[in-house]
Amino acid sequence: MTQEKVTRALFDDVMVPNYNPQQFVPVRGQGSRVWDQDDREYIDFAGGIAVNALGHTHPALVAALKEQADKLWHLSNTCTNEPALRLAKKLTDATFADKVFFCSSGGEANEAAFKLARKYAYDNTGPEKHEIISFTQSFHGRTLFTVSVGGQKKYREGFEPVPGGITHLPYNDIDALKAAISDRTCAIVMEPIQGEGGIIPADIEFAKEVRRLCDEHDALLVFDEVQTGVGRTGHLYAYETLGVTPDILTTAKALGGGFPVGAMLTTDKCAPSLGFGTHGSTYGGNPLACAVAEAALDVINTPEVLAGVNDKRAIFVEELEKINAKHNIFRDIRGGGLLIGAELIEEWHGKAAKFLAAAREAGVMILVAGPNVLRMTPSLIIPETDIREGMAKLEQAIARVIEAGPDAE
């Protein structure tokens, strides 16, 4: 039987159209380089949206996967396993947390976090303490609960009625938060740097006031570190950068270095509210996933890798500023560590996707964060030569888009 040739066109025939992938199909990667079906090479500044924290086919991750593949793939949650326990111990040793819940994605981690926040309030106060405060432009996942907590209406439209008891406030607005929080608030949920919302960092004073208000009103502070976690900002988790400790933290993306895995981290104070039978995940704690995640954590949580993140950021910012000096295309360059956002000037608002497509044609993979911001989330160990070569390609792409104009088809 002859196997049908796989092309980008096949996506339109067989896949639900919730994605619109670019017009090429990558087939292999090495480090911060990717090759497509035609053996065309790309420099990867996208990193699988902050997932491939050690690039592609990192030898430590490949070795961990191969070793575990010969041992044990999956168990039901009626059993535990060694990789899951080792990973949990390393996460609790390295963070504020005492307990870990494993799952398969960031959305699942956030679902668990929000359920825990409400259950903790129910157990310790009563059903009236159930309100969650989140922030506009935030993103927390695609389940009905997480998309409701997320502060972007476009992701909720058409799925109503959505869960209630959720308030969205302006990010970094202390006065708005003071006016909204009450003794009915069970949790405040925030990203240390809003990712999908445009790479917007939390003000340190705002984050500290969020912590103080949570303590005052006996509410839990939930940090969504799905995108900012596991070295992305130059610390293992970004709460360390802010000097603010949450009660619950969610992590995924870079945790597995490309293998699907997520986790919710919390304290001994909160953990008992997710008692036996209250929550679960079929693949949570999967031995393959946890073995790879343990290897990724071992490599990333080192002084060399973490210190290198901000050194590499400085090169990205330097190159973006050179591009801006030449083309006057960026209104702002922001973010933290290797979570980098370059907001386009107002004339180009709504046109970020044009630059993504042009970059791909030039041989560099980037992302957008909404319609106005170019986003880069590369490997934490990307070589300087790859950064500078990739930025040269990006400059060529930007020049072509500007030459064509914002209204070009």
List active site positions: 139, 224, 253
Cα separation, 185 vs 177, in Å, equals 11
Euclidean distance between CA atoms 141 and 227, whole angstroms = 11
| All residues at 6 or more sequence positions from 380 whose CB lies less than 8 Å from its CB, including other chains | 53, 54, 231, 232, 254, 300, 305, 308, 309, 312, 338
Nearest Cα to 222, choosing from 261, 270, 176?
Answer: 270
CA dist 145 and 116 (Å) reads 13
Secondary structure class of 365 (helix, strand, coil): strand
Cα gap 276→119, rounded to integer Å: 13
The three-state secondary structure class of 163 is coil
| Burial of 127: CB neighbours in 10 Å, binned 0-12, 13-18, 19+ | exposed
Rounded CA Rg of the chain: 21
- DSSP string covering 44-105: ESSHHHHT-TT-BS-HHHHHHHHHHHTT-----TTS--HHHHHHHHHHHHHSS-SEEEEESS
- Sequence-separated (6 or more) residues with CB below 8 Å from residue 260: 104, 105, 283, 289
Query: Which residue type, as a one-letter code, is found at position 335?
Result: G
Which three-class secondary structure state does DSSP give residue 6? coil
